[in-house]
Structure 1
Amino acid sequence: MLELYQFEGSHYSEKVRLILDYKQLPYRKVEVAPGVGQIDLYRMSGQRQVPVLKDENEVIPDSTAIAHYLDEKYPERPILPTTPTERGLCLIMEAWADESIGLNARTAMIGAFNQHPNFRTALLPASTPELLKSLVGAVPGDVLSLLGTGIGFGTEAVKAAHGILQQNLAALRLLLQERPYLVGEQPTLADFAVAGLSMYIKFPDKQYVDLPDGICGKGVPGLADDPAYRPFFSWRDRLYADYREVRVPTTAETVGSGPQSISID
């Protein structure tokens, strides 16, 4: 069985999970423990970042490389177009999603986490004691922003990311006005990249990802709740409803199962 080494909350891992669900490939999620688990991951794959796919003796790091591997090894329900123009557009859009939406969405989400206590506490597990939730929500946002400045998540960086994402969402809304998918008449890698990497802008409306119940449908204020971008998020929700498996708590090692502890041979 395919094994996906991942962080459950990683939007690049979510991009791969969307593809696996679309292709209807059973897989086991292996949750990598930050730090120690990443050292083990390096021994297996030569790098520390998730996602990494293991298919028997094949080990494939990086979400883009995984997508290409899956389409070649498991060609049913293809995600890469065959015509040169559509294939080229698909690859360009996927690279744009990785570099622009993926990176800026992470910055914008951390900014929202800093400045909006309700969004901050919604990310905590449901089992978190109320006292701890209150303490987390009470930390001043200015303090968190100051702490984030030195690592690229300060106020100016968040503002710039927010502006870039506004342009991205406006462009996506226009592209989807008269077509069902971003490239052609069938979903492609471009669609799954955009859908998965926009998770940090607004989380899906159902619990497709093993995150706290309260986070479903929430997102970055000023983006997730802007009526101008509602058509895009409606499109994304339909894509999820059509192709993504809703998470069902189970110990079975199948699509939708909870992440397992890392164990690398």
Structure 2
Amino acid sequence: MRMITLYQFEISPFCDKTRRALTYKGLEFEVKEMLFSQEAENLKVSPTHKFPVIDRGGDRLADSTDIAYYLEEKYPEPPLCPADPASRAHMHIIEDWADESLFPYDLAMRGLWEHNIPLLIDDIFKYETPELQKMFAETVPDGIRQQLIAAGLGRKDKKAILNDVRRHLEAVNALIQANSWLVADHLSYADIAVAAMFFVINRAEEGAAMLDEFPMIRKWQERVDELTL
């Protein structure tokens, strides 16, 4: 079997998705942690600057979603994609929703609200030198703020953001109530994608408190973690 190397930023939920998929499929892999300060090296690994990246015996692929489908093709057991086309489509929609809708709320809660920023900086730059950590702490929050303002989310107040997050959690809770997993009768990539986003949302004080209001989601997350960590 070809050796798999995962190039990642550890705290990234997108990299977490790929680690979980590799683990669930029982694949051995080597992890190489990238550093934000080593821009030239990052571009060598991923010219598009998209991470995670996996290298499988010289075959290199970026983007957590593309990697998921690649792994499913090369290592179909145990499956992460439902066999039924409608369920597979449902999985794709939820996975994309997690990436495009849930992730900005993680950035908002941890990057806009002052009391959460120190932990965000520690998480993102834990492998950098103390000097670089200090520099990033002074510049990164404003970059996140400008990104979120451009996307519209940064113009919402805290109450509106928390109301949005609650609606997302209520939707996930309803899906779990109806069916133990988000899509199929087994763990799928939809579960992995949402669980990875909830992991980082839980790192925000408000996110953790809100998740505690949904014990069914907490138990579902534990089941996902048992299979993928």
Relative to structure 1, is the Cα distance of residues 145 and 156 closer, same or farther in structure 2, using a 3 angstrom cutoff?
farther
The aligned counterpart of 1:152 is 148
The aligned counterpart of 1:4 is 6
Which AA in structure 2 matches 1:199? F
Contact 2:110 2:116 in 1 (8 A): no
Relative to structure 1, is the Cα distance of residues 96 and 35 closer, same or farther in structure 2, using a 3 angstrom cutoff?
same
Matches within 5 A, 1:30-109: 30-36=32-38, 38-109=39-110
Deviation at 1:120, TM superposition (A): 6.5
Relative to structure 1, is the Cα distance of residues 14 and 158 closer, same or farther in structure 2, using a 3 angstrom cutoff?
farther
The aligned counterpart of 1:170 is 170
Out of 191, 205, 222, the residue aligned to residue 221 of structure 1 is 205
Give me the whole-angstrom Cα distance separating, in 1, the residues matched to 2:228 and 2:147. Answer: 36
The aligned counterpart of 2:24 is 22
The aligned counterpart of 2:225 is 240
Deviation at 1:118, TM superposition (A): 8.4
Where do 5+ consecutive residues of structure 2 fail to align?
131-136
Contact 2:104 2:148 in 1 (8 A): no
Task: Count residues with an aligned counterpart.
Answer: 214
Give me the whole-angstrom Cα distance separating, in 1, the residues matched to 2:29 and 2:91. Answer: 25
Contact 1:105 1:161 in 2 (8 A): no
Deviation at 1:33, TM superposition (A): 1.5
Relative to structure 1, is the Cα distance of residues 161 and 50 closer, same or farther in structure 2, using a 3 angstrom cutoff?
farther
Name the % identity: 27
Contact 2:8 2:51 in 1 (8 A): yes
The aligned counterpart of 1:205 is none
Secondary structure of 2:190's aligned partner = helix
Which range is displaced more, 90-99 or 151-160?
Answer: 151-160
Per-residue CA deviation, residues 112-146 of structure 1 (Å, 9 max, x unaligned), is 4x225885798596xxx9xxxxxx9xx9xxxx977
Relative to structure 1, is the Cα distance of residues 158 and 44 closer, same or farther in structure 2, using a 3 angstrom cutoff?
farther
The aligned counterpart of 1:198 is 198
Secondary structure of 1:4's aligned partner = strand
Contact 1:166 1:223 in 2 (8 A): no
Secondary structure of 1:180's aligned partner = coil
Relative to structure 1, is the Cα distance of residues 70 and 117 closer, same or farther in structure 2, using a 3 angstrom cutoff?
closer
Secondary structure of 1:92's aligned partner = helix
Where do 5+ consecutive residues of structure 1 fail to align?
130-135, 203-218, 245-265
Contact 1:201 1:224 in 2 (8 A): yes
Contact 2:110 2:120 in 1 (8 A): no
Instruction: Establish whether residue 184 from structure 1 lines up as the match of residue 184 from structure 2.
Output: yes
The aligned counterpart of 2:134 is none
Contact 2:111 2:120 in 1 (8 A): no
Deviation at 1:23, TM superposition (A): 0.4
Which AA in structure 2 matches 1:33? L
Deviation at 1:69, TM superposition (A): 0.4
Tell me the TM-score normalised to structure 1 length.
Answer: 0.70
Deviation at 1:40, TM superposition (A): 2.7
